[in-house]
């Protein structure tokens, strides 16, 4: 039995099929997906249906785009760059089925493979926490996602809403005072704040907090920013053996691209940006790649901007 970990698919169902064909899959093999199965690309619904139909062998963790879908189901606004129409306009029954499946997927998944502790998350983890605490925080998010009132909170805290609010206050000539910002943050449940680690982090500032604005490549990395996995790697070396996993898989950072270190492995190789969809076989670290065959539904004129906001 082999386990393949697959990078961010982003609705590129045809590319996924091409990658799967190159794996020579056996019926008992397992497929892990590091999240962001949907959005940006043309076939999000097909990817979700594939993962749901094959849940006996497909293990998913949630990415920021799955969280975005959940927020949209609970009233958050879509953005112009979204390609979620098919998923959002499903019949009530089908929509409920997709929603129930998505909200039951974990933020962090861990298993023992070939005597090694292997884990995956979509973006990263806060290595100031112990592995036990990291798992506890992921579990707390997973419980929250199963409650409608908590998903309503998520929709309320959604960036699209903040952007809208800011536009309204700017239009009215109001200044947002710092106390308002503090109020907004203090009302946000802790689990929503923790999401930034599991689904969004790329780099950390000097105090070890995630930085939202940098999404560039390794070459463009600001000298005062540190990729989260460098801090994670440091923590792994400082902690007694056996605490953190032997290898942590993640995606999300397309501009940085494929990352294959001993302790961590980044698999977003920019499938949606015309590059590759990647998979690694856990047992022997063999890399498989399929060139993308899908054209993003994103108009060319906004792709450049998107690279900055994605
Ligand atoms: Mn992502």
- Each residue of 61-74: pLDDT tens digit? 999 999 999 999 99
User: Of 292, 258, 291, 307, nearest to 5 (Cα)?
Assistant: 258
Q: What is the pLDDT of residues 279-296, one digit of tens each?
A: 999 999 999 999 999 876
CA 250 / ligand 1 centre spacing (Å): 10
Report the separation in Å between the CA atom of 34 and the middle of ligand 1, taken as the mean of its atom positions. Answer: 9
- Ligand 1 center from residue 148 Cα (angstroms): 23
C-alpha separations of 303 from 60, 80, 295, 298 in Å: 27, 12, 12, 6
Tens digit of each residue's pLDDT (9 = 90 or more) over 38-53: 999 999 999 999 999 9
Domains of the chain: 3-309 (3.60.21.10)
**What is the DSSP secondary-structure string of the chain?**
--EEEE---TT-HHHHHHHHHTTT--TT-EEEE-S--SSSSS-HHHHHHHHHHTTTTEEE---HHHHHHHHHHTTPPP-TT---HHHHTS-HHHHHHHHHHHHTS-S-EEEEETTEEEEE-SS---TTS-HHHHHHHHHHHHHHHT-HHHHHHHHHT-HHHHHHHHHHHHHTT----HHHHHHHHHHS-HHHHHHIIIII--EE-TTS-EESS----STT--TT-EEHHHHHHHHHHHSPTTSS-SEEEE---TTT--EE-SSEEE----GGGTSEEEEEETTTTEEEEEE-----SS-HHHHHHHHHH-
Predicted confidence at residue 241, as pLDDT, reads 56
Per residue in 189-220, pLDDT (tens digit) is 999 999 999 999 999 999 999 998 899 999 99
Tell how far the Cα of 251 is from the centroid of ligand 1, in angstroms. 7
Confidence of residue 310 (pLDDT cuts 50, 70, 90): very low
CA of 39 to the centre of ligand 1 (A): 10
pLDDT, position 203: 97
pLDDT at 221: 93
Whether the per-residue pLDDT at 297 is higher than 80: the answer is no
Ligand 1 centroid vs 228 CA: distance in angstroms? 14
Ligand 1 centroid to 67 CA: how many Å?
10
Q: How far, in Å, CA of 207 to CA of 205, rounded?
A: 5
Looking at residues 235-253, what average pLDDT do you find? 89
Instruction: Label residue 41 exposed, middle or buried (CB < 10 Å: 0-12, 13-18, 19+).
Output: buried
Ligand 1 centre from 115 Cα, in Å?
A: 29
Taking the centre of ligand 1 as the mean of its atom positions, its distance from the CA of residue 246, in whole angstroms, is 23
Quick one: pLDDT at residue 179? 40
CA–centroid distance, residue 110 to ligand 1 (Å): 19
Centre of ligand 1 from the C-alpha of residue 172, in Å: 34
Centre of ligand 1 from the C-alpha of residue 300, in Å? 20
pLDDT in the model for residue 166: 57
Report how far ligand 1's centroid is from the alpha carbon of 121 (Å): 10
Rounded to the nearest angstrom, the distance between the alpha carbon of 65 and the centre of ligand 1 is 6
Confidence check: pLDDT of 121 > 60: yes
- Average pLDDT estimate for 262-268: 97
């Amino acid at each position: 039995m082999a386990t393949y970990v697959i990078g961010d698919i982003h609705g590129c169902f045809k590319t996924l099929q091409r990658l799967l064909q190159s794996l020579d899959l056996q019926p008992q093999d397992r497929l892990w997906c590091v999240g962001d199965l949907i959005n940006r690309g043309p076939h999000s619904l097909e990817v979700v249906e594939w993962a749901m139909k094959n849940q006996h062998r497909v293990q998913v963790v949630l990415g920021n785009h799955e969280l975005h879908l959940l927020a949209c189901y609970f009233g958050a606004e879509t953005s112009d760059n979204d390609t979620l129409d098919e998923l959002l306009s499903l019949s009530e029954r089908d929509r409920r089925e997709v929603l129930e499946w998505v909200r039951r997927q974990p933020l962090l998944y861990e298993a023992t493979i070939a005597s090694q502790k292997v884990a995956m998350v979509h973006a990263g983890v806060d290595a100031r926490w112990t592995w036990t605490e990291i798992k506890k925080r992921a579990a707390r998010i997973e419980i929250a996602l199963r409650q409608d009132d908590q998903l309503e909170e998520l929709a309320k805290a959604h960036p699209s809403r903040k952007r809208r609010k800011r536009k309204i206050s700017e239009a009215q000539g109001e200044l947002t005072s710092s106390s308002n910002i503090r109020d907004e943050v203090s009302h946000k449940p802790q689990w929503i704040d923790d999401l930034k680690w599991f689904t969004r982090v790329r780099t950390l500032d000097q105090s070890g907090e995630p930085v939202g604005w940098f999404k560039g490549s390794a070459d463009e990395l600001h000298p005062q920013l540190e990729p989260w996995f460098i801090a994670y790697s440091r923590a792994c070396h400082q902690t007694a053996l056996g605490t953190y996993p032997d290898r942590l898989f993640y995606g999300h950072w397309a501009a940085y691209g494929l990352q294959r270190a001993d302790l961590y492995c980044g698999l977003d190789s920019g499938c949606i940006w015309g590059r590759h969809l990647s998979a690694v076989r856990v047992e022997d670290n063999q890399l498989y790649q399929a060139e993308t065959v899908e054209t993003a539904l994103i108009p060319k004129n906004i792709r450049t901007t998107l690279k900055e906001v994605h």
